[in-house]
Amino acid sequence: MTSTGTASSASSEAGSGHDSAHPTASFGALMLGCIGVVYGDIGTSPLYALRESVLAAVGPNVPASETVVLGILSLIIWALILVVTVKYVVILLRADNNGEGGTLALMALANRAVGGSSMLVLLGIISGALFYGDAMITPALSVLSAIEGLKLATPAFEPYVVPITALILVTLFAVQSRGTAKVAAFFGPVTLVWFIAIAGAGIPQIARNPTVLLAFNPIHGLSFLLTHGVIGFMTLGAVFLVVTGAEALYADLGHFGKRPIRAAWLCVALPALTINYLGQGALVLADPKAIENPFFLLYPDWALLPMIALATAATVIASQAVITGAYSITQQAIQLGLLPRFEIQHTSESLIGQIYMPRVNTALLIGVLLLVGLFRSSGALASAYGIAVTGTMVVTAMMAFVVIWKVWRWSMIAAGALIAPLLALDLTFLSANLLKVFEGGWMPLALGSVVMLMMYTWRRGSKLLFEKSRKLEFPLADLVAMLEKRPPQRVSGTAVFLTSDPVSAPTALMHSLKHYKVLHEKNVILTIETAPTPRIDPADRVRLEEISATFSKVTLRFGFMESPNVPKALAIARKLGWQFDIMSTSFFLSRRALKPAAHSGMPRWQDHLFIALSRSANDATDYFQIPTGRVVEVGTQVTI
């Protein structure tokens, strides 16, 4: 899972890469915050992970032997140690892109280190696409697994599990537009109570059957895999459910920093999860029938309904984190040129990560409700869960190798020796999960394929359009020289022409001269660049270059996690000596109507897909936050 933006405060590390003290929040507050935001997803895995692992090994009607239970517990414990602790907490938290983490941030860092690579961009597209599968499955699976506890209170609740789950999910998505800043303040305390409650329930069972502590010996896990053949391999796919959500601790690096994330994992999340899994294992050994729902059966009858309520709150928190993560990764993908512009609403004046994207929210809600309606149980959904997450983890390991080799300047052999065992483990988990393709695993693969196609088409089509437009455009330097030699009639004020290619004359400028045959007193060619870093220092935001007495070039640079705000950035240009009055400045944008060409660099159907995506893009005026009353749009027709 990738989740950013639900943090109760933004870390000072964002953009610095250092683990310095947070200016407004203490270490304790940051640690409490990341317990809720970062570990909400992985913290709810005990609701279903051990049950699905044991059922994968022995089936629903065969009692699990001590050998099986100890083998599965050993695999669970060592998955938490190797995948989460070693790979993410120890290694990947050091691979930050100016203080930010996550697969797209890692892709940008690795791509910058090698000077640009289409293979790394493809890996970034794959990881981003698979994430959306995770973002849909997490809310459906987590909330379903919590509400299923009602069936233990009384079987009469069974017909209402799916409707109640759907109602909770609709409510959750409906409140997204209000922002999560206030709700996020409760995330940490509620999730801390959750971790205390799941650890507290496991301790008595371990005390009754301390044999389960033998699971810390990895021999039990290896022996289980070797003696159970294909069944053992299939069980490994279910065991992987215990580490789903590990990507979150890397993705939220910029919001909390390394030290709070590490401390929260080592001091709270890891011990609580380990104790609970051992407790469930001890309960299943004592009563094999408890495999029906070993998590909720850890609790006495009087505590069942309060725990269902707490589990529901914890799963809503896990869902909230991944929903907000979907907004964040979409924003990064837009800035990196992988998706068209979508509307971004800022829901907090102080927290840059607090954003809301209506289209993404609607698409996720439809997808989540379809999943709940199609699968109808957490057990069925669990089969679909692992593929999306394991695929993302494999891609992350590959990109981490490039960063360790090129950015950390380790030798290729040393980088390979560090990453190869972890990549082999990820590939093993991916292979085990691929066995579940026909049981539901097709869903994240199908969804990921659609998103990958959209990202590839948008990137490819944008490149072809840029190349075609450049051939048709007039060199800016030649045009300025001609206009200075034979100036047309001038009108007062300043004209700002937006263009993605500062070398060529903007289309809007050419059409303005062609139709109006006038020129403003001051003319600015404005280019907006997205840097391969999360954020840009305000001092490096603006580049000003004078071409002639009446023409200037202005380049505004934004990080891939920033929302471009042109008026605010131009205020910086003012301090650099560019005198302008926003109320006497007109912004000229060219609006292109795209038509498919007879021969282009893409198949005909892909041309149509690119045109559809371009039509769905948010208006540039809104996206760049330009005052609508100061914008003039010039329409042109372009074939691709």
What is the rounded CA–CA span in Å between residue 598 and residue 587? 34
Sheet strands (E) in 357-506? 489-498
Burial (CB count <10 Å: 0-12, 13-18, 19+), residue 555: middle
What are the structure tokens assigned to 590, written together?
């060219």
pLDDT at position 222: 95
| Residue 263 DSSP SS3 | helix
pLDDT at position 503: 86
What is the rounded CA–CA span in Å between residue 131 and residue 126? 9
For 52-104, the pLDDT digits (tens) are 999 999 988 888 999 999 999 999 999 999 999 999 999 999 988 877 788 88
Burial (CB count <10 Å: 0-12, 13-18, 19+), residue 605: exposed
Pair 509, 523: CB distance under 8 Å:
yes
For 210, residues 6+ apart whose C-beta sits below 8 A from its C-beta are none
For 103-134, the pLDDT digits (tens) are 888 888 898 888 878 888 888 888 888 888 88
3-state helix, strand, coil in the chain (%, to 5): 65, 10, 25
Cα radius of gyration (the chain): 27
pLDDT below 50 — which residues of the chain? 1-24, 350
* Region at 618 (left for phi over 0; alpha for psi -120 to 50; beta for the rest): beta
Q: Which fold has domain 27-440?
A: Amino acid/polyamine transporter I (1.20.1740)
pLDDT at position 563: 79
DSSP strand pairing (542-546 vs 551-559): antiparallel
What is the rounded CA–CA span in Å between residue 555 and residue 569? 10
**Complete DSSP assignment for 550-619:** SEEEEEEEEETTSPP-HHHHHHHHHHTT----GGGEEEEEEEEEEE--SS-SS-HHHHHHHHHHHHHSPP
pLDDT at position 184: 60
Element (H, E) at 637: strand 631-639
Domain boundaries, the chain: 27-440, 467-639
pLDDT at position 347: 67
pTM over 0.85: no
DSSP strand pairing (585-595 vs 489-498): parallel
For 223, residues 6+ apart whose C-beta sits below 8 A from its C-beta are 67, 71
pLDDT at position 6: 35
Reported residue count of the chain is 640
Pair 144, 165: CB distance under 8 Å:
yes
Pair 552, 545: CB distance under 8 Å:
yes
pLDDT at position 361: 92
